[in-house]
Each structure stands twice: as C-alpha cells, then as structure tokens.
Structure 1
C-alpha cells in the first residue's frame, strides 16, 4: 500500500549517498550485525531460497530456542519485506522462532527472478504459496501448527489463511489490520484525508482526491497508489514513522546490499498491481466464523488502517478466543514503531493461549 511513498523517500538516498553517509551506514550495519548474532545452543539462524509456487522464494528462520512457538509473518506493502526490521524486532526472537518470507514481488524474491520471474501476481496465488510455505516450515521445524502474524496489506491474506486453514495455524494475530469492505465504508477516511489536504492548502491534491470519490473499487492501480501516498504524507505521525522507522531500517539493514535496497524499492513498485485486488474484498462476506484464536493489535492513531473498523470486525466474528488492543502513540507500522509494546501483547495475550492450546497439539 505504501510502496510509492517509500520509494520516493528512499530513492535519493540509495541512488547517490555521500561518502560520510556511506561510512555511517557501514558503522550502523556492523552494530546491527552484532545485535543479530544468535549464539544460544538451541538457537536457529537460517536463510536462503525455498522453491515455493514454482519459483525461488526467500525465507529467513531465526530464534534463540527451537522449542519456542513458531511465527510465520505475512508482510505488507504490497512488496514491503519485513526483513529490514530484524534489528528492531531482535527481542521477539527470545520468545518465538520467527519465519520471515519475502513474498513474490518483494525483496530478495523479487531480486532473484526479476519482474518476469515472479509468476502470477494475485491474492489467490499468494494464499496458495503461504500454505505451501507453511507445510515446509512445519516439516523443517517439526511442529504441527504455526502462529500466523500478518501486518498491513499482508493481513488481507492473513485473514483468508486463518479462515480456511485452522489445521495449520494455532492462532491469528493481525496488526495494521486491513478490513476491506468491497470498497464501501471508506467515506470517513476519505473525508478525513480531504480535510487534511484542505487545511494544508493542497488544493490540487484535494481536487484529485475529491474526483476519485470514496469508492475504491473503481480506482486504477495508479489512483490507489496516489491515494495511499497522500494519506501517509498528510499525517504527521505516519510520515514521521516512515522516515524514522521504515527508511532508517532500509538504509541501515545489515541483511541488504545497496544493490538489494534498490531492488527492494523496485519490487514495491512492481507489487502495487496487487492493491486494487485487495480493495474489492468484502471481509464480512468472506466469513465471520473462525475456528482458531484471533487477535488484533492496532496503532491507536492509525489513519491508513484505522482501529475502529478492525475493532468492529473483531466484535462481529466468532472465534474460540478473540481480543483487541491498541498500541499507544502509534500510527501505521505500529508493531515496528513500538516493537516492545507489540512483544508485550504477544506475551501477555497470545502466548498464554498457545500454552493452553500447544502449538504441537
């Protein structure tokens, strides 16, 4: 959803950094590399390409104790690999084994095959690939079920997996949770964006958004991307998170070369074609009965995926266990702006449910 603004913010830095900035990048990457080192005898640190969906897809598996519950992440964007956040989420790996996957069109998977080697770019294909990867993870790590954690655009796929495959997943955790309603119920968010543009005196942008109307099902991929960019850049907290959390994580990632950072940004632009497909989904029509625990942890000030539709959706569903919590002082990317708060929620709300219903059951 945010590929355009990430690309616009980071492209200049990646394309032509000064020598001093390169030196500081090297210093920070070295520090992050030391932070990421796993030395515990029960730990695991594996990464590489797995043949999924007919193409090579990048998978990272990290954790300090293989006996911990296994998390499979479904990242957002589309095309925004979570691998860059590894230093920020290092503490999660003390309590969970974290499987991070670069979906088709994202990160190292996009870099491996390029735009012509990604295969079919559809939500249905990504769901199939996720199931195939889940089976691979279960076999590799010797577990019956994994904990499914999805953020932002990935939460659209995450809800589908949670509905359809309770036999594979011990629970579902959505953060920056999208609640698609077939393009409906966007009037409040559309109006809020118009008001921010009006207050900022951005009359050209206001005219563009007004002409688009609130019905996202009729938007082109370009309009969808343009709308997302305006939502981010007109909200101070979201824009600050983009600069201080997302862009810094990209630039100082010890797991990516400069060439890979450029490829990362190109992948996000390539994957934007998935955006309009997600808008057309109606989550209520897809089903409100879940046969596994469902948790939603949302930024309290998120203007991209506001908390109230997510809270209402959780109220409307049935599940063995369900819970909702706000991450304080957070907009979008809430779990990465405040990884400590997110981990606390995982340990106090999710982990006890897994203990009562073990991952291996």
Structure 2
C-alpha cells in the first residue's frame, strides 16, 4: 500500500548531486555492514532461498545467541521487506534470534524471478506460506515454538496464525496493528478527510477525491487504496517525517541493497498492492477473540494509518492467557522502526518475561495481564 509513496520519495532523494550523494551512500553502507557483523561464538547469521509454497523465498536468520527466543517477523506493505531496517534493529539481535522473511511479492523473493515467478498472490497463500516458513524455522533452529512479531499489513496474517496455531507460536506481538472490523472501522478515513477539509483550498482536490471514495474500503480499487495511504501519511507531519528519516533513509543506506536492488524493492511493493483490497472484509472480532497464547500490541501513539484506539479496543475484548497493550510515544506508523530502542524495551520488560516465566512453565495466571487505558 505504501509502494507509490516510497517510490516517489526515493526518486526525490536520488535527484541530488550524483557523485557526492552516491559517495556518501557508499560510506554509510560500509559502516552499516560493519555494524551488522555477528562474531559471537554462539551467534547465527545466515540467509538464502528456501523452497516455500512452490517457489524460492528469501529467509534471513540473525542473532547473537542461538539460545535466545526466536522471532518470526511477518512484514507489512504489502510487499515491504524489513531487511532494510537491519541497522536500526541491530540491538534486538542481542536478545532474540530474528527470522526475516521476504514473502512472495517482496524483496529478494520478488527480485529473483520478477512478477511472473511469484505464483498466487492472495492472503490465503501468504498464510499457507507462513506455516511452511514456521515449520522450516522450527526444524532449522530446533525450537518447539516461535514468537510471532507482525507489523502493519502483516498483522492481518499474524493474528490469524496466532489464533489458529497455538501449538506453533509462543506469543503474538503486533505493531502498526491493523483493525478493519469488516469495514466498520473508519476512523483513519474520517480523520484524513477532516485534515484535508481543514486545509481548505490547498487540499480541496484531495478532499473531494477522498470524499468520493467513501469509507467503504471494499469498494476501493487498488489505486484508491494506494492513494489513501499516500495522503494519510503525507498530510500528517509526524508520519511524513518518519517516511523521510526512517523508511527512505533505511532503504537508501541499506548495505544489503544495490541501486538495482532498490529499484526491485520498490517494484515489489507496487506489484504486491494487488493484495490490499482482499483485506477489506476481514473482521477480527468475527474471526475470533479467543487466543490460547499471550497477545501483545505495541502501537504508535500518533499512528494515523492504523490508529491506536481500534487496536486498544480489540485487545480489551479478547481473552488470552496474557494480554497487554502499550503506546509508543512520538511515533506514528512504523513505530517499532522509528523507536527501535523503545520497542526493544517493551519486548524485554513485557514479552520476554512471559516467554521465560510463568507462561513458559505452564503456570498461567488466573487473570490476564492488561495495561488499562
């Protein structure tokens, strides 16, 4: 959903003085590559293609100690690989072994064969792929269950996995948590329309366009989904700053991506936008509010794309052995990557103790933990 916006922003960045810009980029990439080296005797740093769902898909596994809990990330976008954020989240790898998977239509998986080699692009297929990736990770790292961490569009699949497969996952952590409620949740749309209308003549054309779209996402075309997200993030100062200083800079200075690789990364996001309308009918309450594993949601306090209040209400309504909700202040969408230190602190103080403490031992508290509003 963010491919159009990121492509436009990256093009603006690349329009600067070529020699100086590329030289500085190379210096930063070299420094980041050095920072990413894992030399600990019990560490792991491996990546490559694994045959998943009938096609080769890229999987990265990194961590300083194989004895740490294992995280399987479910990326957002759709089609937005999280590998570009490796330098920003380097500190996470001291405490967790992190599996980052470029699912079909994303990152290196898309780059290998292009659009013709991605196979079926659907939420159902991504769900099946995720189960295969989970099986691969459990066998490769010799763990019984992994910790699911999903962001943005990936939270749709993440919640389904957590709800349906308590035997495979130790807990669920959602950030930039999507709550669609079968089309009933319209606060992001309502707030965007209000911002555009308040801007007067400056945003009159955009306001008319959004008003014509209406709040019913099931009726939106792929282009309208993309346009909505572009407007939501560019008309909010904190969100737009995050796009420029976190997302675009992470891509531009990524030690894993050449210039050709960046072009492929952006093409993948545009290609994967076709999945977005499939989410319009998802109703998190109807799919089930009972979870047999701990559930955590850590949301950007200023998120205008996936607002925190619907996520808070959903967490309040679910039953789970342990549940918790927390806001990350001074954060919009991409909260975990804007403030990776704060997100890590939440993981260490709220999630990891649950994995290694009473829940892991099978002694589930009678009353679930919940951070009240």
TM-score bracket for the superposition, by shorter chain length: over 0.9
Which residue is 1:95 aligned to?
A: 95
Contact 2:179 2:185 in 1 (8 A): no
Provide Cα deviations, 1:299-322, integer angstroms capped at 9, x if missing partner.
Answer: 011000000000000011110100
Which residue is 1:189 aligned to?
A: 188
Alpha-carbon separation, structure 2, partners of 1:4 and 1:352 = 40
In structure 2, relative to structure 1, the CA distance for the partners of 1:359 and 1:35 (3 Å cut) is: farther
3-state DSSP of counterpart to 2:293: coil
Structure 2 unaligned blocks of 5 or more: 364-373
Which residue is 2:143 aligned to?
A: 143
Alpha-carbon separation, structure 1, partners of 2:190 and 2:180 = 17
Provide Cα deviations, 1:222-269, integer angstroms capped at 9, x if missing partner.
Answer: 111111111011001000000000000000000111101000000000
Alpha-carbon separation, structure 2, partners of 1:17 and 1:146 = 46
Which residue is 2:32 aligned to?
A: 32
Alpha-carbon separation, structure 2, partners of 1:121 and 1:16 = 36
Kindly state the Cα deviation for residue 14 of structure 1 after the two structures are TM-superposed: 4.9
Alpha-carbon separation, structure 2, partners of 1:154 and 1:235 = 23
Which residue is 2:252 aligned to?
A: 251
Kindly state the Cα deviation for residue 113 of structure 1 after the two structures are TM-superposed: 1.6
Kindly state the Cα deviation for residue 8 of structure 1 after the two structures are TM-superposed: 1.3
Q: CA RMSD in A?
A: 1.5
Matched, 1:219 2:211: no
Kindly state the Cα deviation for residue 207 of structure 1 after the two structures are TM-superposed: 0.5
Show the 5 A alignment for 1:153-232: 153-186=153-186, 188-200=187-199, 201-232=202-233
Alpha-carbon separation, structure 1, partners of 2:176 and 2:190 = 20
Which residue is 2:276 aligned to?
A: 275
Matched, 1:46 2:50: no
3-state DSSP of counterpart to 1:4: helix
Contact 2:48 2:59 in 1 (8 A): yes
Which residue is 1:299 aligned to?
A: 300
Which residue is 1:351 aligned to?
A: 352
Alpha-carbon separation, structure 2, partners of 1:175 and 1:30 = 30
Provide Cα deviations, 1:83-140, integer angstroms capped at 9, x if missing partner.
Answer: 0000000000000000000011111000012001001000000000000000000000
Structure 1 unaligned blocks of 5 or more: none
In structure 2, relative to structure 1, the CA distance for the partners of 1:360 and 1:79 (3 Å cut) is: farther
Following TM superposition, the consecutive aligned residue runs of length 4 or more in structure 1 with deviations greater than 6 angstroms are none
Contact 1:143 1:360 in 2 (8 A): no
Kindly state the Cα deviation for residue 195 of structure 1 after the two structures are TM-superposed: 1.9
3-state DSSP of counterpart to 1:72: strand
3-state DSSP of counterpart to 2:181: coil
Contact 2:188 2:306 in 1 (8 A): no
Kindly state the Cα deviation for residue 353 of structure 1 after the two structures are TM-superposed: 0.5
In structure 2, relative to structure 1, the CA distance for the partners of 1:360 and 1:316 (3 Å cut) is: closer
Query: So what's the TM-score if we normalise by structure 2?
Result: 0.94
3-state DSSP of counterpart to 2:183: coil
Kindly state the Cα deviation for residue 358 of structure 1 after the two structures are TM-superposed: 3.8
Which residue is 1:5 aligned to?
A: 5
Query: So what's the TM-score if we normalise by structure 1?
Result: 0.97
Matched, 1:264 2:265: yes
Aligned length: 360
Contact 2:182 2:281 in 1 (8 A): yes
Alpha-carbon separation, structure 2, partners of 1:159 and 1:166 = 11
